[in-house]
């Protein structure tokens, strides 16, 4: 069944119903199939799309650009030093101007209030491409990958291990609560999601029959899981906290022993990326213990991380087409 999402923003999945989330995932699966078959519906012909980035990005930026190109739209990248936003011009004025020229606006940055401010004043759909608080388009790609693997979301046993209070943990928890998963945050107790977000997720879980578990006991948290998910231990903007996070999270590294502790041979490994899994990056050479996942798991048979990365493009395309076309 198609849903009318025209004109909607996507700031957090908290604003979307389970049926709408399911629709976007199925639509993305459909768009992936069409692209594989060489079919390009060009549903966004002549649309102009602004891509504002205060923080760097590989996947999100490229997903928006390729999705625009596939659908006949024109993307414009606006990096943090390219436009007046924040320094000489308020979020509200920037939104009003961009909304007069563009048909949709993607924002990636620090404060979640910034993307809310853009949405309040743009008059065109605004999509959150990551803030310190939420990363909703990532969750659509993650859940699409789960659905492609297991054929369903409801009842899937899903552990998010590591920094349990970052944008990924918050967003996965909300998504899982909406979609009826058996969701666990496996993290040190002082890195659990903030109480207000936990409370919101509990409200969604009461409707969907999702279960939400918070534990600092790794073996208990991952037992029986279908999906083990992790993210970097220090997010963009938190680089000064790397040594402290390594000290706190070293026992939460996803490695083969943790995958074995699921007791499930079919369990898969997911990661939003970028990931530290070897010493081939500048930061990993500086902090050799930074790896949140072992290279063996990252590169091993359970890993679906590059399907997940590809799915960023199909899901972002689905969001743009559903909210604009
Ligand atoms: N997963 C993700 O958002 O990747 P980028 O930071 O490369 O966009
Ligand atoms: N938590 C990470 C996610 C990157 C996609 C960050 O914010 O840096």
| pLDDT tens sequence across 243-268 | 999 999 999 999 999 999 999 999 99
Q: Is 253 in the pocket of ligand 1 (CB under 6 A)?
A: no
Model confidence pLDDT, tens digit, residues 143-173:
999 999 999 999 999 999 999 999 999 999 9
- In this structure, the residue with its CA closest to atom 6 of ligand 2 is 235
Q: Do domains 13-134+310-324 and 138-309 have the same CATH topology?
A: yes
- Work out the widest C-alpha separation in the chain, in whole angstroms: 56
CATH number for the domain formed by residue range(s) 13-134+310-324: 3.40.50.1370
pLDDT of residue 314: 98
pLDDT band at 3 (very low <50, low <70, confident <90, very high): confident
130 CA from centroid of ligand 1 (Å)? 8
Fold of 138-309: Rossmann fold (3.40.50)
Q: By the 8 A CB rule, do 14 and 129 touch?
A: no
274 CA from centroid of ligand 1 (Å)? 6
Provide the edge-to-edge strand list for the sheet that holds 182-186: 211-215, 182-186, 157-161, 227-230, 268-271
313 CA from centroid of ligand 2 (Å)? 17
Domain definitions of the chain by residue range: 13-134+310-324, 138-309
Q: Is 235 in the pocket of ligand 2 (CB under 6 A)?
A: yes
Q: Is 179 in the pocket of ligand 2 (CB under 6 A)?
A: no
pLDDT band at 317 (very low <50, low <70, confident <90, very high): very high
Q: What is the pTM of this model?
A: 0.98
Model confidence pLDDT, tens digit, residues 103-121:
999 999 999 999 999 999 9
Separation of alpha carbons 47 and 29, rounded Å: 23
Q: Is 83 in the pocket of ligand 1 (CB under 6 A)?
A: no
Atom from ligand 2 closest to the CA of residue 163: 1
- In this structure, the residue with its CA closest to atom 2 of ligand 2 is 235
Q: Is 57 in the pocket of ligand 1 (CB under 6 A)?
A: yes
Q: Is the pLDDT of residue 1 over 70?
A: no
Strands (E), the chain: 48-53, 74-79, 104-108, 126-128, 157-161, 182-186, 211-215, 227-230, 268-271
235 CA from centroid of ligand 2 (Å)? 5
Atom from ligand 1 closest to the CA of residue 129: 3
pLDDT of residue 86: 86
Model confidence pLDDT, tens digit, residues 16-68:
999 999 999 999 999 999 999 999 999 999 999 999 999 999 999 999 999 99
The residues carrying an active-site annotation are 108, 135, 138, 231, 272, 312
């Amino acid at each position: 069944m198609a849903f009318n999402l025209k004109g909607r923003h996507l700031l957090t999945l908290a604003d979307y119903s389970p049926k709408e989330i399911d629709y976007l995932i199925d639509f993305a699966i459909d768009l992936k199939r069409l692209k594989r078959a060489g079919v390009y519906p060009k549903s966004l012909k002549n649309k102009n799309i602004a891509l504002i980035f205060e923080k760097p990005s590989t996947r999100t930026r490229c997903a928006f650009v390729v999705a625009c190109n596939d659908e006949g739209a024109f993307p414009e990248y606006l990096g943090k030093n390219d436009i007046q936003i924040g320094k000489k011009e308020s979020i509200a004025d920037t939104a009003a101007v961009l909304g007069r020229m563009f048909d949709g606006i993607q924002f990636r940055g620090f404060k979640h209030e910034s993307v809310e401010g853009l949405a309040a004043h743009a008059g065109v759909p605004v999509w959150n491409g990551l803030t310190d608080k939420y990363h909703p388009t990532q969750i659509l790609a993650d859940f699409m990958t789960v659905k492609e693997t297991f054929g369903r979301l409801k009842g899937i046993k899903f552990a998010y291990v590591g920094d349990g209070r970052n944008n990924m943990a918050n967003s996965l928890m909300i998504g899982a609560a909406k979609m009826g998963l058996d969701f666990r945050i496996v993290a040190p107790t002082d890195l659990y999601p903030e109480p207000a977000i936990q409370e919101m997720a509990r409200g969604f879980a009461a409707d969907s029959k999702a279960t939400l578990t918070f534990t600092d006991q790794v073996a208990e948290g991952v037992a029986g899981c279908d999906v083990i998910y992790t993210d970097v231990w220090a997010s963009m903007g938190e680089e000064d906290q790397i040594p402290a996070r390594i000290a706190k999270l070293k026992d939460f590294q996803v490695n083969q022993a943790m995958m074995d502790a699921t007791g499930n041979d079919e369990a898969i490994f997911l990661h939003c990326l970028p990931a530290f899994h070897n010493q081939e990056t500048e930061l990993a050479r500086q902090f050799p213990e930074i790896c949140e996942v072992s290279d063996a798991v990252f590169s091993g048979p359970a890993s679906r991380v590059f399907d997940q990365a590809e799915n960023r493009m199909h899901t972002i395309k689905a969001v743009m087409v559903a909210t604009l076309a």
